[in-house]
Copies of this chain bind each other. A is one copy, B any other.
């Protein structure tokens, strides 16, 4: 498969019809701000993964705005084919947060105020407002608390993890159908409520009999997708892979092979992993779920090694990514954003003559930056990136997408020339991933 945008490029996919039938859940994500992309939904994907681990499949996630008619329509559409429906969002204290009322209507259950719940929510709001010095005795605050304590008849209440309670609302008494699990929108509240949600009797019953699936990930650095596709085709022809659901995804030059399988298909998965290891050798950099970020962090800690950066076009992204993981102060000392040429000379000692001679985007300057960062910061390793991220500043000689990276270590300095496609953001992000892999290779002694 040839694909110009690798943020979105499955090299090989396989429908999961081969796996045994599983319990299914349908998800309705609510909120105009999500529908229009001003806020990226984190809850849909999080729930899909949590449910998958429990052996529950999600076939569809529907994002709706704040219109009650759309929300009700989506719930009614999903109901016949699912054992459980889940909504996220729309549980706030204001009148436009409508989810509980819409679910009550769909499940044909009148709403009533749960007075004990109202007191508990009021206590939470009092505490939150006190911290900020706000007044909670206003009428609109009281009205909001009362609204959040409105519960559909027969619903099971999940205690608030923010201010909003969750709900498990049974199907109408007269009609069979799935219960609706109503969860709050803020991801931290939703995730905190999840253990109580899956333990609720109606949810537990809906998911009973689901066989948890295993998931394993093999990550490969370097080969074109076509090569992976050919390896998988050959493996398919020679092995029974009917128990495996294989998804591959190319992301920033890393090929991710994610396989889901029931415990009964463990041997089939072991064979697949052996095939990938044998085909790609040390280009397979992870089979235990670790990302390159985690691997590099672990390798640095194991080696008691430290690192510093010198960055031009990425302007801090490499250092920031090294600091993403908690505990990064054990190996990240610091770095230099050397965006202007004078900064390259002043901060990490790249000779101005060298820049004048070969240009700031060059193998020689990348090497000098990496060695300069290592030397100035006194670290085990120095990393550098210098390139043309565009959209302007390219030339025939040094086009947009040309990036030089280097990793200076105790033994020697590795360097690489990259020719990257895509826009400014893509070029910068991909450069960061490439230099992390260069550091990984230096740490493992890989050529």
Chain A interface bracket (under 10, 10 to 19, 20 to 34, 35 or more): 35 or more
User: Which of chain B's residues has its CB closest to A247's CB?
Assistant: B32
Instruction: Scan A405-447; emit 1 where CB is below 8 A from any B CB, else 0.
Output: 0000000000000000011110010000000000000000000
Are B320 and A316 closer than 8 Å at their CB atoms? yes
- What secondary structure prevails in chain A residues at the interface with B? mixed
- Which residue of the partner chain, among B224, B226, B249, B392, contacts A326 with CB atoms under 8 Å? B392
Are A67 and B17 closer than 8 Å at their CB atoms? yes
CB distance from A401 to the nearest CB of B (A): 13
- Which residue of the partner chain, among B8, B333, B392, contacts A343 with CB atoms under 8 Å? B333
Residues of B within 8 A of A422 (CB): 188
Are B31 and A96 closer than 8 Å at their CB atoms? no
Are B62 and A49 closer than 8 Å at their CB atoms? no
Query: For window 121-154 of chain A, which residues contact chain B by CB distance below 8 Å?
Result: 125, 128-129, 132, 134, 140, 144
A1-B92, A316-B315, A340-B329 known; A37 vs B46 contact (CB < 8 Å): yes
- A residues whose Cβ falls under 8 Å from a Cβ of B: 1-5, 7-10, 12-17, 31-40, 42, 44-46, 48-49, 52, 58-68, 70, 73-74, 77, 81, 89, 92-94, 96-98, 125, 128-129, 132, 134, 140, 144, 162-163, 185-189, 224, 226, 229-230, 233, 247, 249, 251, 256, 258, 308-309, 311, 313-320, 322-324, 326-329, 332-340, 342-343, 346-347, 376-378, 390-393, 422-425, 428
With contacts A12-B94, A15-B98, A320-B337 known, what are 5 further pairs, Cβ within 8 A?
A: A16-B65, A60-B62, A60-B64, A335-B337, A346-B376
